[in-house]
Amino acid sequence: MQNIDVDKTLNIEQIKLLIQKSKETPIYLHILFAVLMGLRKQEINGLKYSDIDFINRKLHLQRQLGVDPKKSKEECAKKTYTKQEIALKTYSSQRILDIPDMVFEAILEEKKRYERNKSRRINDKYNPFQDLGYICCSTYGHPRSKGFHVRYYKALLQENNLPQIRFHDLRHTFATLLLMNNYNLKAVSQLLGHASTIITANVYFDQEKVVIDCVKEITQYINKVKPKDVEEGELNTIKLDTNLVTSRFIE
């Protein structure tokens, strides 16, 4: 397993710029979920409003979208073969996460758009709105495809002189900055949905590559994304449903 090269992650200022510039694009929430919560691309596409505890601001990851190996392309409806609801990568990928304020506000705005589109198109005779509850969806309610984000994401990087990193590297950025700030390994592993802390350590720990600098700036970032129950200076625990988190599986 390869270590993460920090040259392929973003720094604090680059993250702020990416978030700012993505706000008027269709992938704003994709960006927030990846860089502020560390979600995988297909986990993001599989999120539904029913996964959110709006009162306590919690997100329960329960599914992802992808190809169901038990079904052939012919068995699936048109354009749905790669957008089927399937189990998450491992049992440990099922997790309950606190939603940062910025992400929560964006979800509320997206929900308003969802309801507007639903009311306008639900009775459309030819192309009615599909009320499936996906957070990241088209104006007709259809879930986003695996590659939907690509052209928007590449344009964002190019137009703003940002490093040409993969979308998945936003997840790595999230984890790397937490670990560079000495965030507890087990907590980061649980946030990422890794089956074991060994996986997290193997991927993200390489002292020759990880250089700890700009700690004050990183701390500001950590304060925005850390769970509310973690007190300042006590970054060694995280409140998670123990029934959903286990380290006995391997990736």
pLDDT in tens, 86-96: 766 666 577 88
**81 pLDDT tier (thresholds 50, 70, 90):** low
Is residue 244 pLDDT above 60, yes or no? no
Topology given in CATH for the domain delimited by 22-159: hpI Integrase; Chain A (1.10.443)
- pLDDT > 70: what percent of the chain? 58
What's the pLDDT at 73?
64
Cα 99 from Cα 167, distance rounded (Å): 20
Is residue 106 pLDDT above 80, yes or no? yes
CB 238 within 8 A of CB 188: no
Is residue 7 pLDDT above 50, yes or no? yes
Is residue 76 pLDDT above 70, yes or no? no
* Selected residue with higher pLDDT from 251 and 58: 58
**Domain residue extents for the chain:** 22-159
Give φ, ψ of 96 to 5 degrees.
Answer: -110, 125
Supply 214's token pair: 């700009």
Q: What is the mean pLDDT of residues 51-59?
A: 93
Q: pTM of the prediction? A: 0.73
pLDDT in tens, 161-184: 999 999 988 988 887 777 766 666
**134 pLDDT tier (thresholds 50, 70, 90):** very high
Is residue 154 pLDDT above 80, yes or no? yes
What's the pLDDT at 177?
76
What's the pLDDT at 167?
92
| Weakest mean pLDDT among 128-132, 151-155, 212-216 | 212-216
Q: How far is CA 195 from CA 64, 93, 226, 237, 244, in A?
A: 16, 7, 20, 17, 11
* Average pLDDT, rounded, for the chain: 73
* Selected residue with higher pLDDT from 206 and 234: 206
| Weakest mean pLDDT among 97-111, 134-148, 169-183 | 169-183
Q: Taking the CB of residue 123, how many other CB atoms lie within 10 A of it? A: 8
Give φ, ψ of 147 to 5 degrees.
Answer: -100, 10
Is residue 18 pLDDT above 90, yes or no? yes
Cα 46 from Cα 21, distance rounded (Å): 24
